[in-house]
Structure 1
Amino acid sequence: MLSTNQLFFVMLFAFAALFLRPQSAFSQNDLKRKIDSVVSGLENMKFQEKRSSYFDICDLIMRAGGNKREELFNYAISRDSSEHARMVFYETYSKVFSRRGQTDEALELKEMGLELAEKLKDIEYEIVYHNDIANLYIYQNKPDKALFHINKAELLAQEDKYKHYNTSVYYNRGLLNNILGDHEEERLSYLKMWEYAEEMENTSRKRFLLYILVDFLSQVDHPEELAKFTEVLSDLYEEANPNMPEGHMPIKSIFEKRSDPVNIPKLKKSIRISDSLNSLNSLTFASIALAKTYEKMGQPYQGVQVLKNIAPKIDTTNKPQLKLYLVSELSRLNAEAKNFEEAFTYLREETKLRDSIKSERMQKNLAEMEVKFDTEKKERKIAQQDLQLEKEARQKNMIFTGLIALGVLLIMSFFFFRNKLKYQRTIAAQTEAIQQQEIRELQQENKLLALNSMIEGQEAERLRIAKDLHDSLGGLLSTVKAHFTTIQKEIEELEKLNITEKTNSLIDEACLEVRRISHNMMPHALSLSGLKGAVQDIASNLQEEGYLVTLEIEDLPSLDKTREVMVYRLIQEIVANIRKHAEAKSVLIQVLARKNDLNLLIEDNGKGFNFDQALKKGGIGLKSINSRVQFLDGHIDWDTKEGEGTSVSIKIPAV
């Protein structure tokens, strides 16, 4: 039968179990969600950023309690099983086994992690794993295997960026030499360890490494080094925690462990050396350790004397915590020695010192708070000023940005309207140019139309005159000749005078001239055979007149009647000029079709002429020829020189 109290605690335990279990599950789920959150952001991270995130996951794993760490460890690997992730996770989780004393399990994980580090060529983690594995082999008392990994780590830690890992290398060497019993090598290893640690900031690891060195030196006969490094370690502790009482410093335990009659000679030597080196911390701790040794031996008064010997020196120092520690021990030992009056005196001094230290500490804290308050006040004021300046700067930037935007807008507007105006002017100019061109084209068309009409009129008039000459004057002359023949038979006297023969000759010549004029005005060959036949007719006439003529006609295009007549008249007029002025013996006439052009070439071997002078004189023939070519939208080229003949090259569009 359970008692009332037992029943109460059972119910309380059951309630707590029911209440805390969901809370624990929630904490575990919460940690998993945090791991998920970290893993989800890994994809776009660089190498070092990923490593930092893996460290965050490791912190989450170590925050879990008990067996939950293993669950979180496995969960983290399930979320990211990359070689990089496993290399980091194995190193962290192996510490769980190390703390439990499960060195084989820890070694297994660390060996796996080392293999990954070597595969990834991650030198930093190779060094870490070699140091960790060496430490575990030292724990298992396997010095050969430990030495192998220590040497590997030391070799890898030669680069400057890895040299801080040598603190672990030489710490392990010190431990290894300890189990091998080589204390001198152990001392040298710890001193080398401190050489690298000394460059570190004042962290707990730095203080731990120096603590190892001081602890070792307190066990061997090197009082100078002990005094020196005790002072350094005390300064580091005071710097890290100024309010820590001297009696609570970890150094105290180092010396108290030596409170044994066997160590009296070493303690006395340490006191003497510390005194000579003015190492007050070492002097105080060694003296108190010796005093406690005498106390254990039942000689507290001897201990009192030891402490009184150093009291004057401690009084002169500005180390109230050290003085308080000494006075407190003097009060206690005097009480043990039944010297209650002195014990009470030292107790009052102790109380006074405590109050003084407390007051001083309070004042110091108040001063620090005041400084912090003033600093915060100044910082707040500076922050307000910065905010004001930032606000003003922001306003200025806004104004400046607005002005720039306005300026850009104005410039853009200016260029826009200028370009628009320029475009409008260009369009207007183009429109005007087009209109002028259209006007010129209309004028040209009208001019050509008028000229065409004029030419057609001229041709019609020539045709009429030719018909009249042929029909009227030609017939009339024929009638005259017939009548004259009749008269000739009847009048014998005229024959005697030889007038009839001459008159007949003149009449025949008049008939020929009328026929020639009529033919020139309207050649029958052009009407009957086209341009080719007409040009051949011109060549035949020249040959009849005694000229050596070369005629070439090829692929003549089909021309409208007006252009055909104009081309014929053009050739006719050039040939007429050759007859009148050239005094030539040979003539070349070429009429050739080239693509959409009609090419004319007329050459003679006559006397030639000065083209520029002839043009200035206003020769009707030249002007007429040039006008006809211009009317036909063609191009004419005169090549002539006095005494060298003349060459006329004409290119006329066929359409």
Structure 2
Amino acid sequence: MRALPALLCLFCYSLLSAQPQDSLELLLPGTSGVERAKLYYQLISFYQRSNLEKVSRYAKEAESYAKENPEPLIKAYANICLGSYYSSTGKIDSAILLFEKGYAEAEVAKDTVVLIKIVGSLGRTLISAGRAKDALEYLYTSLRWLERYPDDATNFRIRTNITWANLELKRYKEAISFGRKSLTLMENEQWEWIAAYTYNNLAICYGVTGNLDSARYFVDKSLIVTEKSGDNSLKANAYFILGKIYSESGKLELALEQYQFARALREKIGNPFFIVSDLYVIADLYYQLGDYKKGIEAGTEALTLAEKHDLLLKFDGTYLTLAKNFEGLKDFKNASKYYYLWAITKDSLYQQSQAEAIAEMSTKYETEKKEQQLVLQQSQLDQQQSQLTKTYVVVVALVIIIALIIVILYLVSNRHKKQQQLADKKRQLEVREAYINATIQSQESERKRVAQDLHDGMGQLISALSMYMSKLSPNTPQEERVTVVEEAETILKDMHREVRAVAFNLMPQTLIQHGLVAALQEMAYRLNESGKIKVEITSFQIPERMTEVKEISLYRILQEWVTNIIKYAKATKVAINLVDNEDEISVTVEDNGEGFNVAELDKGSGNGWKNIQSRLNLLKGNIEIDSKIGRNGTTLVLGIPKEHELVVSETIK
């Protein structure tokens, strides 16, 4: 059976929040503030499926209301409303710009719920703009936020659009898998209007992969919902898919009729992304019917719209259908032109997937090569007659390990001297004194811990290594020498892991090389490996690198606080969120552990809280803690001013 062409990659329009009642329009005149802005958004979300005139009206009212009441949250909702209107009328670039403005206003308002709505709308619109890969990043961001701020309608909208994005990227297996899992969450009549879009997406994917029975099954389910809702977009999608099924069954006239039904509905909606798809599929059907002139007319109209709106994902299908129709007319000059354009565009669209495939093959090749090298080395070792060379290797490796230990001890002792040199800086005199005192106490504890780790871990391993090495002598049998050397190599690997663990506790290399967010993610990974606690790190617009002292201080503050949560709070979940605001960097730490009396922190005798305060003073930051005895959950909020650049720095080692 012929596979359905990739032209089917087009369906899932904006999915909306829970369907509003008629009473919302009656409530509008008597509502004010943010609640009025929310009502505009809900009304536009509802009428976006059926009445663009009302969408236009409420979008303009929302814009005027925001001008009269310029609060960040009201302005954010106004931008969503206008962006949704422009998206529905095919003005994709304007819609994207408005959603981005709304995102900025929502950040100022610090309202994550609105951010989720905007990011979801932006992701959906980017798919219409032919940027499905970029859209997936936004959509998955919304999905992660929804774990903390649950909302079924928004969750199902996002999931349907993720299925659509995978479909647009021609990742049909991923789209089917994700779509079917999402449908299990919508097994409720309340959500069938959202499920219908997923039905259409699955029908397309099954059609493309040649499973027409499954495709027809999901189309029929979609049409049942369409009759109830009157959703023009959903109805157009269903007619289009039904047309493809007739086409694959050889019923070309019936297929053309379904396509014309779909196109008429698309014209009412006005989104060029879908109109272009309808046109070049109709052009392809005219080619199959032998009506090449009509095919060229439809294909040319599709190309004009695609170029006007820069719909990159639609160029390859449009070029191909034009080439085929010109070839049918025996106009080989134009046919060659469009075949050439189709080949170039297709190569461009699949460049990323090809690069990933090449990278995967390269990785497999390198792995196989390394395995072959290991086999060869082992074979060479088995054939060696003398074990003296292996003894030298062990001795040299031992010297390297000892040298590393000496370097680590030197770096630990040298930190104190460099901290004292910071005291000569006048600008940080008062803050520096408190910081150095707390740091000295912390370093003394750290030295004791490092010394204990080296004594307990490395001391035992060195003793074991010495014991094995003492078994080697000129009279030692060859088989026993091989066994001794193998055991010695095992111990050296354990010593290497021990040294790396000590070095990580001194200063994570990830913090040195990749910055704060990457270091926190590594810390979370190590803690999560225990299985006793789940630590989640999220960041929004945090720069990859900040000043050295700011990265170290924030890392140590968060490390100390998470350590205390693990020791005392009996928590199972910790969420760390970093946001780069206009004037400051905001850090929030939330856990589900036992609460405590915040006033007791200043009365404690330990150094942990003092270290946090001294590092925070160095950054001129502020701190707020929300916790109570008898209540689960504690929230820590840090604010670090951005304009404050420190001249004092803690050297990373």
TM-score normalized with structure 1 length: 0.29
Structure number having the greater helix percentage: 1
Structure with more contact order per residue of length (Cα contacts < 8 Å, sep ≥ 6): 2
Q: Which has the larger radius of gyration?
A: 1
